[in-house]
Amino acid sequence: MKKNMFSVVLLLMLSGSLFAQSDSALSVTTAYITPLNTEIQLQDEEEEDQFVQGAPTYYNWKQASKQIHFFVKIRKAGELRVQLQFKNKWAQPIQVSVGATVLKVTLPATSKFTTLKLGKVSITDTGFVQITLSVPQNTARMQASIAGILLGGTAVEQMHYNHKPRRNAASVHLKYPVSDSIKTVSFYNEITVPAGFDPIHTYYMACGFARGYFGIQVNSEKERRVIFSVWDAGNEAVDRNKVETDNRVVLLAKGDSVITNDFGNEGTGGHSHLVYPWKTQTTYKFLVTALTDSASQTTIYSGYFYLPEKQRWKLIASFSASKDGKPLRGLYSFSENFVGINGQLERKALFGNQWIQNGANGQWSELTEARFSYDVTGKMGDRIDYGAGVTANGAFELWHGGFKNATANYGQSFTRPALLNKPVIDFTKDADSLSLAQKDIAQIKAAVAAGIIDTTGSVGGVYYQIVKEGSGEYVNVTDTVTVFYKGTLLKDGSIFDQTKDKPARFPLQRLIKGWQIGVPKCRVGGTIKIIIPAGIAYGMRTRSKAIPPNSVLVFEIEVVKAAPAKS
């Protein structure tokens, strides 16, 4: 829209009539109030917060610092008549801006809702127009109630505006096509939010899949989060208390400082989040893994977030999903405005360098195609300001809000250039390694004090007990060992693995670090019990439902034979 191309004819007069049926009435419940209240301190602010959530159907305008904003899209140039419906305790000067043009009027005192004709504006160009109500900043007192504005004239023909009090910008999505023949066990994605496009009440979701989603959120002016959630099975949409036990996802493990609980009202499931001050113009990396068990029809979904300041991965949470048993599928990303009180603001995110890993062969493949879509707010035509594209740096771009012309159509496909930057996932570099090690040591010492386990000593972080002294040579870390063993979890004593009739044979150097450190304390023919902290066991990796991430492991090992490994 070209600015400064409005000619104004002021026809100010008071009218007690209702809005004309041929004109378009914009209820104040579809408008936006700025600035937002960030902290509730006064009763006036409490009333305003109730209004922006949908009640009552008019706005009690009591603060001179507040402005009321309406947005329309003009599709045909012409005359625009502007009227205001209000009631007012005393005469009050206000300003009504139509685009770049300002109309200055005085609202007369009236105890009943009344319609005031503000004037006519000649619109010479098409596009979005913002209409703003404000008052002079030196206003000492005010007590106006605003019901809405009325727009008439030839410019309202085919004019678009949101009729509904739901003021959220349309949520926008990128769906990544993946062949059904690929057993996807890992999905990697990156997000960069440009400066100025991160208003509160925005969720930028990187790794979405059929059972959950993983991304970053702006919750308030003071708090930001990393969120990973997995849906329950079944059809309950609101109350998780109504979800049957065998339909519930089960939390297996979570990272340090991660908060976990239930969620509902959008389906139900297990929720986890890390309060984390993520920043704009910084690229953040996300990884979701799936460990399937077709026999029990369960899939363990784990979310990992890369902390750039530590250059390490962090486990957010690991959930076991029932009635599943399938790999990752339905891969997508989205950007969502989840509270509509600031839905007029533009959100934008760049999604780049998407990869998937095939569980059949372990190979990684880059995803370079995405299909654009939007939610019911877009499908119903309530909001038409959204778009997608590909940046010069080879990232998919998603934006919504801001009341600007759309740049993509529903179902439109985009292809970005291949970056050939395969992700490097090193689970041994755990962002929680220090705090996790301290917790594991405390857990082991508590078990010793309670008499649950006994120890002869410790070496390299592994606690051990010589159960039976052997008569042979000490095991060497380079040996191939033949052993009987039983593995249990320290936390509950449950058995996760054991030999039965025959011993197992394997090179010691191919096993977890805890075995390499602890088993050489035993002679051939002897039996040793080793207690291995998670950091030198499987760490934050998801091995199975029986071995959750960050588990302290206990092994009782009988060394039958040890032989030098063949070169």
Query: Alpha carbon 78 to chain centroid distance?
Result: 44
Please determine, looking at this structure, whether the domain spanning 433-564 carries the CATH number 3.40.430.10.
no
**Residue found under tokens 């019911």:** 376
Strand ranges for 294-331 from DSSP E: 298-307, 312-321
Mean pLDDT value of segment 345-358 = 98
Alpha carbon distance 27, 18 (integer Å): 14
pLDDT score recorded for residue 11: 33
- pLDDT at position 532, please? 97
Each domain of the chain, given as residue ranges in start order, spans: 6-156, 172-415, 433-564
What integer pLDDT is reported at residue 47 of this predicted model? Answer: 56
Residue 271, beta-bridge partner list? 229, 261
| Residue from 549, 127, 96, 552 nearest 304 by CA | 549
Which amino acid would we find at residue 558? E
Q: How many CA atoms lie within 13 Å of 78's alpha carbon, on the beta-carbon side? A: 14
pLDDT tens digits, residue range 63-94?
Answer: 888 999 999 999 999 999 999 999 998 898 99
436 and 534 in contact (C-beta within 8 Å)?
yes
Global pTM? Answer: 0.90
- For the domain bounded by 6-156, which CATH number is listed? 2.60.120.260
Work out the pLDDT band at 24, boundaries 50, 70, 90.
very high
* Cβ-Cβ contacts under 8 Å for 123 (sequence gap 6 or more): 6, 74, 77, 78, 79, 80, 129, 155
Tokens of 515: 């075995």
Instruction: For residue 426, give the nearest of 306, 317, 252, 508 by alpha carbon.
Output: 306
Spatial distance between the Cα atoms of 269 and 263, rounded to a whole number of angstroms: 6
- Do 6-156 and 433-564 come out as alike in CATH topology? no
φ, ψ dihedrals at 481, nearest 5°: -110, 150
C-alpha to C-alpha distance for 289 and 287, rounded to whole angstroms: 7
Look up residue 16 and give its two tokens.
Answer: 């007690």
Extended beta strands in 221-376, E state? 224-231, 250-254, 259-263, 269-275, 283-293, 298-307, 312-321, 332-337, 347-358, 364-367, 369-374
User: Torsions phi, psi of 426, nearest 5?
Assistant: -115, 95
Q: Are 292 and 325 in contact (CB under 8 A)?
A: yes
72, 129 Cβ separation under 8 angstroms: yes
How confident is residue 49, by pLDDT bands cut at 50, 70 and 90? low
Residue-wise pLDDT for 275-332, tens only, equals 999 999 999 999 999 999 999 999 999 999 999 999 999 999 999 999 999 999 999 9
Say yes or no to pLDDT of 253 above 80.
yes
pLDDT at 423: 96
Supply the Cα-derived Rg of the chain in whole angstroms.
31
Q: Which of 228, 302, 240 is nearest to 266 (CA)?
A: 240
Question: What type of residue sits at position 348?
Answer: K
Instruction: Name the token pair of 146.
Output: 């605003």
pLDDT tens column, 403-426: 999 999 999 999 999 999 999 999
> How far, in Å, CA of 334 to CA of 269, rounded?
19
Distance CA 170, CA 385 (A): 8
Which residues, 6+ apart, have CB-to-CB distance to 294 below 8 Å?
Answer: 325
CB 163 within 8 A of CB 384: no
CATH class of 172-415: mainly beta
